[in-house]
Amino acid sequence: MEYHERTPIEDARKYRVGDVIYVTGEVILARDEAHKKLLEEGAPLDLKGSVIYHCGPVVTKVNGEWKVVAAGPTTSIRMEIFEDKFIEKFHPAIIVGKGGMGERTLKALKEHGAVYAAYTGGCGALAAERIKGVKEVHFLEELGIPEAVWVFRVEEFGPLVVTMDSHGKSLYDDVDKNARKNLEDILKKIER
């Protein structure tokens, strides 16, 4: 299925692994330090039904206005230590990043009806093309550009491929199981 959605998103349970989503509205950036800070101090904005994006962007100021130069995803597994608590506390609808996440997050997605979607790693220029502006930024002074909480206005932001859904399915588990089996065959062949 292909979805074209507007934020905030009310029902993320309908998404299944393999679905492709394009988002219009707002995307909120949070990576390592931002997760830590929001969990400790609370969020300065409403995150219910939001799209949380694991990304450290390149932004620059042109004539007093923020311009997003590149904004591809960062490796999500680093946020595994925070994400289940983050989902429980703030109820986002879609977590976007790359590389997938672990058991704890998968469980939280199931409990709270959210999904994890992959944005193609490194595709910073393509992402920047779909980002239409910066609505606001939090903790910029303290955390610096890559770690700050940016709120981007986006149009048709995607393709976001659902790889972990709220029904306990993870594409990464499937790929991993398959690769593990292939690895065993290859190692046997090397031994021969």
Partner 1 sequence: MIDEIVYAIKKAETQLSEDTVKALKEAYERETNPMGKTQLEAILKNVEVARKESLPMCQDTGLQTFFLEVGYDFPYMRELKSALVEAVRRATREIPLRPNAVHPFLHKNSGDNTGRFVPYIHWELKEGDDATIHVIPKGGGSENMSGLYMLSPGVGIKGIKKAVIEHIFKSGGKPCPPTIIGVGIGGGADLALTLAKKAAILRPIGVRHEEDFVAQLEEELYEMANKLGIGAMGLGGDTTVLDVHVEYAYRHPATLPVGIVTQCWANRRAKVHIDANGKVEVV
Q: What is the binding site for partner 1 (CB under 8 A)?
A: 18, 20, 55-58, 60, 69-72, 74-75, 77, 98-100, 118, 120-129, 144-146, 159, 161, 163, 171-172, 174-176, 178-180, 182-183, 185-187, 189-191
For residue 124, the surrounding DSSP H or E stretch is helix 124-130
CA distances from 27 to 8, 54, 105, 182 (A): 10, 10, 20, 38
For residue 75, the surrounding DSSP H or E stretch is none
Contact 108, 124 (CB under 8 A): no
For 183, residues 6+ apart whose C-beta sits below 8 A from its C-beta are none
Output the DSSP codes for 131-147. EEEEEEEESHHHH-TTT
* Rounded distance between C-alpha atoms, residue 91 and residue 37, angstroms: 16
Residue 42 CB, nearest approach to partner 1 (Å): 23
Q: β-strands 51-53, 58-62: how paired?
A: unpaired
21 or 90, CB closer to partner 1? 21
Structure tokens at 97: 């990043």
9 or 128, CB closer to partner 1? 128
68 or 90, CB closer to partner 1? 68
Marked catalytic residue, from 35, 54, 112, 138:
35
Residue 25 CB, nearest approach to partner 1 (Å): 21
Residue 187 CB, nearest approach to partner 1 (Å): 6
Residue 123 CB, nearest approach to partner 1 (Å): 4
98 or 169, CB closer to partner 1? 98
Q: Would you call 35 a catalytic residue per the annotation?
A: yes
For residue 93, the surrounding DSSP H or E stretch is none
Per DSSP, the three-state class of 119 is: coil
Looking at the annotation, which residues are catalytic? 35
